[in-house]
Structure 1
Amino acid sequence: MFTNRMMERDQTSIEIHEISSTTFQSVLEFLYTGAIDISEGNCQDVLAAANMLGISDLVSICSKFLKLQLDAENCLGIYRFADAYSCEKLKADAEKFINKNFPKVSYQEEFLELPQELVSEILLSENLFIKSEQEVFQAAMNWLLFDPAIRRREIYKILTPVRFPLVAESDIKKFLETCPDIGIKVALLKYIEDFKQERSICKEHNLDRIKPHLTQPRRFARKNIYLIGGYFVETGGRWNDIHTLEIVSKYDTFNETWVQMQSLIYPRHHFGICVHKGLIYVAGGEHDSMIYDAVERYNPQSNKWYHMANLNHPRSGLGLVAVTDKLYALGGWIGMELGNTVEEYDPVRNEWRLHAEMPTLRIDMAVVELEGLIYVIGGADRDGGFESEMSLVESFNPVTKEWEELTSMNESRAYPGVASLGGYIYAVGGYSSVLGDLATVEKYCPMKNMWTSLPPMSYSRTAPSVVGVNGLLYIMGGRHSSSMDGIFSSSCIALDSMECYDPKTNTWTLLPRLPTPTSDAGAVFL
């Protein structure tokens, strides 16, 4: 301004618009001292001034401050502010926060007050962290209903990014039943009818007017099940003829296909498994009668397994769960004895330490985490063999180290498969010395402390692998004893069948077979 041929260079007084005297004073002091006091109250004004005056260091300081302030209530405002002042790094950080917290952000007033163009842009993102497309559909409808008289004319623009083939008809029906605006309801029905007709015409005439991405889950809504390790016995083989597996198979829950991934470092069965921060941990287990203390961690991005710190004690038949920032290994065989200890693992320190003791000795139980509590379910007492199965259920609070005995299952089960889904815990199959391999299923409600029997599986299964994902309960493999010789049957058949339970319809559906029959394997989803 002063060193070029601009009119201001000859003026004695220049008015700088859009910057208050207080803000300019702070900027001027920063230029001379390199120090500035940034707060929530002045950050955006200082950033705008620094951007106008081309002070990149100060823009960076303010951007870093605003990044630390990001939350569900202000992230959209910071995103729009960063866009207006071309702060690309801050804009990218805000966009990442919006995507990662989309369900919560979509209920904020900031979202409901956005212009249609920006809402459509957000809903179009492939990177939304959602459990299902229903959350995107609900966000779109919430925005429309915020001002239906004005916004119903925008319904086609708002619904275009929604991947309707992936939204359950029951969810759409539920919305229509409760929709308070008749205009929105009619417009939605018309949009869905037009969309279905377009798909039908395209399918009939082999046209590609429907964009392929509309029929595929978004990047972070794609869930894969990892089935790891286990063992099988050749037909006619006996217990001491088992083949321990190191294979890892990934199941695409949308396309219903299996692919092989990098194998375990050590073949093992009867181990503990859990997921923590997108990484799979496997601990303990056994192979050829040798009990492991070895722990491995799998990174799905690199498709590699890594050695981690060993357990304090070799364990087989243990439970492994993640709660907040720690992992917990419970019970199992320690040598020839049943272990009564709980070990805690710190992933940051890569270190195990003894954490607590278990009130009940048991083996071949199932362990699952739900809302910060660890549930230990069923199993067998130290006598093994006949009539040793347990219906006992206990919960453990890893913070207070307190145990609580809960309502027992309706049926005693050793080797049950267990998973949490929709706030409930499901106990599946297992073994009973009275009934043999079980096909029965029970659901536990923590609020009511009550177990409810559900329709049985298609197959009886001892030691199945169970995962709850996408609103469905997946059951894989397990074994079936060829005789009533108790838990340690001299002959058993590993299963390659897979089925899932839908709580909404209370029905079971058979799915593609496993790549390899397996029992006592681990299963998780990512």
Structure 2
Amino acid sequence: MLCGGMRESREDTVCLRGLSSWVIEAVVGFFYTGQLGLSWARVWELTDALHQFQLKGALSLCTDFLQGGMDESTCLDVLVLAETFGLVLLGQAAEEYVLTHFRLVSAEEKFKDIPFVLLDRLLDKDSLCVDREIVVFRAVVSWVEEEPKERLPFLSSLLSHVRLPLFTSSEVQEALRCKLLYRSSKTRAALETLQRLAKGEKVGSGRKPRSPNQASVLVLVGGDAVDDDFMKRVPIRSLWYAQQFHRGPGLMRNIEWKLLTKIPEPPRFRHAVCLFNNKLYILGGRKYYGSLDVLKSQLPDMLCPRDYFAAVCLDAKVFVLGGNYDDSQYTDDVQFYSPEKNTWRSARPLAAAVCGHAAAVLDRQIYVSGGCDSYHHCSSLLWTYHPSRGCFPRSPMSVGGGRAGHVMLAVGGRLVVAGGVQPLRVGFGDQLLCEVYDPACDSWSSFPALPRPHLSPGGTVLDGRLYVVGGSSANTARDTKWVYCYDPKKECWENLGAMPHPYTDLAVCALPLPNTTR
């Protein structure tokens, strides 16, 4: 532009119009450092500018950020952006996320702003993941009701994608009560189909039930439990997954579990799991209760065994942080596994040896919370950890005098800590109170308390909901069999039912399973 025959080569000043000064600063900074400071507030404008200037290296950082941090409130924006700029791989990932989590996505306010052409395309997909077809009908109705005058002409086209013969009798009656169906002559075919179904007539759908390629399910990995004779504790090799959540009358709930597979010998408890590229990595833990029973991994061996540690995935690597070495030594050691090279390497150690802590990744940063030191003092500290620079303190947890044996889960741009124990004057007691950390403000705030104690539980995020599973009680020494789920929309914990057995020291994950497996 400056050296050729373009107009800018003859001007003293070249104006870069439509760009904020901070965008220019970020781009120039990238030239010198190879780094971009990204957040959900900044990534949209940066992506626009980087696409305009064809800076592929920096643009790839933005697309990785968008793809890795998508949730039900952002996936539609990511999909629209990807299609606007022709970012094919990002668009495919965003569309897959929308299809897989359609029930949650369609409940978001942003769903009502989706363009008709895009909605029409999504509803036609066999891979649209819904447990009941009425979910699709409700989504169509809510979209049209947002702007009824402008959108009513599109209703018949959208309803053509709804597989009405799959409705139950009560769902047919619900659809017949929808006033929108009676406001347009174009919806007569759908209305007549519903009326025939209401009379019990068989209606050929011409469309099969939707069959998504895969959907994530709640999976229990290992742990230990009391045997059937209540005589001793037994380490577990089983992997169970929740095939169906059932809602009975009143508050009654139960879960239909199915055995997925078994961990190769030996069994595992006090271990950790990570999911990377749809592969489940099982790390460390122990096979029995002696000091020499602490394990390394099911991969090439870690450089040292450990249990009661934390593990996370970041930048195509699996990190293991701290933990117990042999029941007498805690470690500050951090190692990372590269699946591509199939090797372990050491990283910068933690600020202190710690055991029973928790870790999570939020906005491409590793956070480490709580745990106990080698003197069995319970910590309330929160750190950010960088593999080459080590730990940096953040605002400490505010509830109790510390927390250990808990879970920390990232959802909605924040970190929730739940479960575990707190220090008492003598020993430890159950911690039911939870709290949430906002990295933008570096501050903690209250969060609904757990109804029951969960010491050393499993924890994961599935479809935008937090799950805390199993564990035990420090106060009663009894194992916990319950699965609790926090729904952000209802702002409360719900008891979904019991595990196959009361497991503690287990690991939990949200694992994508093919439809044929489920």
- 1:368 has 2:357 as partner: no
- 1:73 has 2:84 as partner: yes
CA distance in 2, matches of 1:196, 1:462: 53
What residue identity is the alignment partner of 2:303? N
Give yes or no for contact 2:220–2:509 (8 Å, CA) kept in 1. Answer: yes
Cα 1:200–1:270 change in 2 (3 A) is farther
Residue 349 of structure 1 is matched in structure 2 by: 341
SS in 1 for 2:486: strand
- Report the CA distance between 1:474 and its aligned residue: 1.5
Cα 1:186–1:204 change in 2 (3 A) is closer
- 1:442 has 2:432 as partner: no
- Report the CA distance between 1:232 and its aligned residue: 1.7
- Report the CA distance between 1:509 and its aligned residue: 1.6
- 1:424 has 2:409 as partner: no
Residue 480 of structure 1 is matched in structure 2 by: 473
CA distance in 2, matches of 1:468, 1:98: 18
What residue identity is the alignment partner of 1:329? V
CA distance in 2, matches of 1:332, 1:258: 31
Find the partner of 2:350 among 350, 354, 358: 358
CA distance in 1, matches of 2:420, 2:441: 24
CA distance in 2, matches of 1:390, 1:195: 65
SS in 1 for 2:409: strand
Cα 1:370–1:94 change in 2 (3 A) is closer
Residue 273 of structure 1 is matched in structure 2 by: 273
CA distance in 1, matches of 2:191, 2:441: 46
SS in 2 for 1:498: strand
CA distance in 2, matches of 1:274, 1:497: 23
1:15-59 Cα deviation digits (max 9, x unpaired): xxxxxxxxxxxxxxxxxxxxxxxxxxxxxxxxxxxxxxxxxxxxx
Show the 5 A alignment for 1:51-450: 72-73=83-84, 99-100=95-96, 120-127=120-127, 152-161=152-161, 218-220=212-214, 222-233=215-226, 241-252=232-243, 256-265=255-264, 266-288=266-288, 289=290, 290-296=292-298, 308-335=299-326, 336-384=328-376, 388-398=377-387, 401=390, 403-411=392-400, 412-434=402-424, 436-450=429-443
- Report the CA distance between 1:325 and its aligned residue: 0.8
Residue 63 of structure 1 is matched in structure 2 by: none
Give yes or no for contact 1:230–1:245 (8 Å, CA) kept in 2. Answer: yes
SS in 1 for 2:473: strand
Aligned residues: 392
SS in 2 for 1:157: helix
What residue identity is the alignment partner of 1:436? G
What residue identity is the alignment partner of 1:377? S
> Sequence identity of aligned pairs in percent?
22
- Report the CA distance between 1:75 and its aligned residue: 5.6
Cα 1:159–1:441 change in 2 (3 A) is farther
SS in 2 for 1:72: helix
Give yes or no for contact 1:467–1:475 (8 Å, CA) kept in 2. Answer: yes
- Report the CA distance between 1:236 and its aligned residue: 10
1:342-380 Cα deviation digits (max 9, x unpaired): 101101111100011100221111111112111111111
TM-score relative to the length of structure 1:
0.62
Give yes or no for contact 1:363–1:381 (8 Å, CA) kept in 2. Answer: yes
* Unmatched 5+ stretches in structure 2: 1-80, 100-104, 168-177, 247-254, 512-518
1:95-141 Cα deviation digits (max 9, x unpaired): 967844768xx99xxx9595xxx963443113369999999899979
RMSD between aligned alpha carbons?
4.7
- Report the CA distance between 1:397 and its aligned residue: 2.8
SS in 1 for 2:158: helix
Cα 1:126–1:284 change in 2 (3 A) is same
Residue 452 of structure 2 is matched in structure 1 by: 459
Give yes or no for contact 1:232–1:493 (8 Å, CA) kept in 2. Answer: no
* Unmatched 5+ stretches in structure 1: 1-69, 79-92, 167-184, 297-307, 484-491
- Report the CA distance between 1:438 and its aligned residue: 2.2
What residue identity is the alignment partner of 2:84? E
Give yes or no for contact 1:291–1:314 (8 Å, CA) kept in 2. Answer: no
TM-score relative to the length of structure 2:
0.63
Shifted more, 444-453 versus 153-162: the winner is 153-162
What residue identity is the alignment partner of 2:274? C
What residue identity is the alignment partner of 1:244? P
CA distance in 1, matches of 2:93, 2:484: 36
Cα 1:514–1:94 change in 2 (3 A) is closer
1:467-504 Cα deviation digits (max 9, x unpaired): 22222221211112455xxxxxxxx2222111212222
Give yes or no for contact 1:230–1:270 (8 Å, CA) kept in 2. Answer: yes
SS in 2 for 1:515: coil
CA distance in 2, matches of 1:361, 1:140: 54
CA distance in 2, matches of 1:130, 1:398: 40
- Report the CA distance between 1:407 and its aligned residue: 2.8
1:442-479 Cα deviation digits (max 9, x unpaired): 12222222222222222122112122222222121111
What residue identity is the alignment partner of 2:455? T
CA distance in 2, matches of 1:96, 1:469: 20
